Chains A and B, each alone.
Chain A
Amino acid sequence: MDFTLGIDVGSSWIKLALVEYGNDSNIKDIIVERIRKRNPTQVIEKAVDHLLNKHGLSYDDLIYVASTGEGELVRHKRGHFYSMTTHARGAYYHHPEVRTVVDLGALFCRVTTLEKGARVRSYAMTGQCASGSGQFLENITRYLGVTIDEVGPLSLQSTNPARTSGICAVLAETDVINMVSQGIPTPDIIKGIHISIAGRILKLLNKLKVESPIALTGGMAQDIGLLAALKEQLEEKNMELEVFTARDCMAAGALGAALWGGFRHYKLLKVKQ
């Protein structure tokens, strides 16, 4: 049996996917671990040890260990794949019909269009400003005194969404502080933020002239409020695009890395022959 391991190192979370690689690859396990204030390299090594022990495996049993994201923090790896490539592959694994993948990570939002076989056709991503990112949303939850899990359901309760800056995270955070002091209800503030983030995603989708269906990956893809806001905006703009949250969305990068790792392993073997 051929096993591959994908390790996606984000700014807040480490994601691991252990895959039994073959013509019909199977996911053996997925681990998602928050870094908190720990040394990321140690968190990775501990998580890998735990995963391998759990399945009675060692590094020697893995035909390919692939990193993605901040891969330089992974000590024992064979190769690295870029996030857009791995998220595309991860989403494609569960949803082979998908034509566009939107990775909603902690620091960036990235749109990738796919060809058959999860090959990347084009991509676009947000710039340096963090206002379309998960980290920004997490900061906002601190001002509002809610947990990240409450964000989605609260957003759906909004009746009169507030308007926030869609360009700058600093301005948007200032907006939120002002709104709190003005007594604007929390659901309306959150919905306003979701609309702002959805607006940024929409700009990227327009830029690439994407095709449907669109799968959302990354941590923010779990946010049902953001998904709803995005669907509403697509409808408002008469853009007939189907959008949904990918299965294993949070670990899509790790899953894609593991799958590409297996593919690469056999490609190298073929080249050697």
Chain B
Amino acid sequence: MDYPAFKQFDYSQSIAFARGLVDDLNFSYVSRWKKANPSARVIGFLPIYIPREIIHAAGMLPVGLFGAGDRIPVVRGDAFFQSYICHLPRTVVELLLNGNLDEFDGFIFPSICDVIRNMSGIFMLQSKNRYIRYLDFPQNFDEQIGGVFYRSELERLMEDLQKLNNSGIDTQRLNISIDLYNKNRKLLKHLQDFRAAHPHKMSAVDYYLIRRAGNIMSVEDFNDLLESLLESVKNVEADEEDKIRVVVTGSFCEQPPLGLIKTIENAGCYIVDDDFQLGLGWMKKDTPSDTSDPVNALVQAYLQDSIRSSAVYDSENEKGDQLAEKVKHLNADGVIFCAPSFCDPALLDRPHLERAMDRHHIRHFSFQYHENLGQFHVIKEQAGTFADMIKLWE
């Protein structure tokens, strides 16, 4: 796509570009992409994860819809949800009804919680001429049960997309797409590793903006942007401060306001890992991109190499140990459980995770937020006290 020369961006240009994309509720990047690819389609998807490789192989642009934060007043969106429902669906519906999503040709709603599932119904009613799909994911990781089910889900999705775009998804195209997303995850991992080692060189807000922008851009553009960023971030001059290192978890769907992320860092915590854009790193390993059955490769990757998030039923309860392992690996001092109000998956998981942290003698504290939160004082108090406690008395 004819877009700015990402490879020549310096650090501040990369961040400014990402911020522009994240702030743009009219999705002008999507409009430009469509102009450059007139016959191609754009598919919006809700958090957390969808197999973007398939959409890409169909010649389409997958675009993550992560709400609108505090940037739009929710007028009509509220009418669709009870008061005990989280905030993200309200702003997504508001965007739909306001026409901000007019460039989108379809929407995929992954199975993460009842609210996102029901949103697919709301979209069907409010957006009748567009492709709407509730994509179910297996909770059973047995190849003969969950594997067979997931393959049928993916094949149905591929059929739908082929009809929508009037073009086929062949083995070669899907393998190329898998390869591109493998590269993307590798670049993201390099950035994550760099940040974990040098959190003072890239603020948590900048890191968030880049990752969030990556869910809007094409994978080709995002890879170019990441490659230039990985070079330019090394040249950032910033003094390392005496802060504690924390892992933030629970914010994988409704996104925290930038002010909240900034507040945590200003209160004396380097966020060395988070799950704000969890879907970007859903696979822990590369998915094979040289097989004669790439759909099976995607299925196997999901069954064997995907991370265990709160949206995944986990009878072995390995999520707690997974989190503890991450904390130890990153040499983090503690965990901040930061979940949106009324987020069932995150809040139901929290007691289990807290118990696991206690078992591993890892310090933690928790709070709730909503995407349009404007007051961070209480959170600043909590994070500040947490940091002081660890710095002075641990």
Contact = CB atoms under 8 A, between A and B. Distances in A.
A260 B268 CA distance: 14
Interface stretch (B207-215, B344-352, B386-394): B386-394
A14 to B, nearest CB: 17
Contacts of A136: none
Contact of A80 (B241, B375, B377, B393): B241
Interface string A75-87: 0111111111100
A208 to B, nearest CB: 14
Contacts of A267: 391-392
Given A76-B239, A120-B385, A125-B381, A82 B268 contact: yes
A264 B268 contact: no
A2 interface: no
Interface string B169-209: 00000000000000000000000000000000000000000
A245 to B, nearest CB: 25
B388 to A, nearest CB: 4
A264 B242 contact: yes
Nearest to B394: A267
B242 A268 contact: yes
A76 B242 CA distance: 12
Interface string A111-138: 0000000011001010010000000000
Contact of B243 (A79, A84, A85, A120): A79
Nearest to A107: B377
B262 to A, nearest CB: 8
A10 interface: no
Nearest to B243: A79
Contacts of A77: 241
B393 A119 contact: yes
A263 interface: yes
A82 B384 contact: yes
B389 to A, nearest CB: 8
Contact of A82 (B239, B241, B242, B388): B388
A225 B66 CA distance: 53
A82 B381 contact: yes
B266 interface: yes
Interface in B362-394: 375, 377, 381, 384-385, 387-389, 391-393
Interface string A212-242: 0000000000000000000000000000000
A12 B241 CA distance: 25
Contacts of B387: 80, 82
Interface string A82-121: 1111000000000000000000000000000000000110
A268 B244 CA distance: 12
8 closest A-B pairs by beta carbon, nearest first, are A79-B242, A82-B384, A85-B388, A72-B266, A80-B268, A82-B388, A78-B242, A81-B388
Interface of B: 239, 241-243, 266-268, 375, 377, 381, 384-385, 387-389, 391-393
Given A81-B268, A81-B391, 4 more contacts: A79-B241, A80-B387, A81-B392, A85-B385
Interface of A: 64, 71-72, 76-85, 119-120, 123, 125, 128, 260, 263-264, 267-268
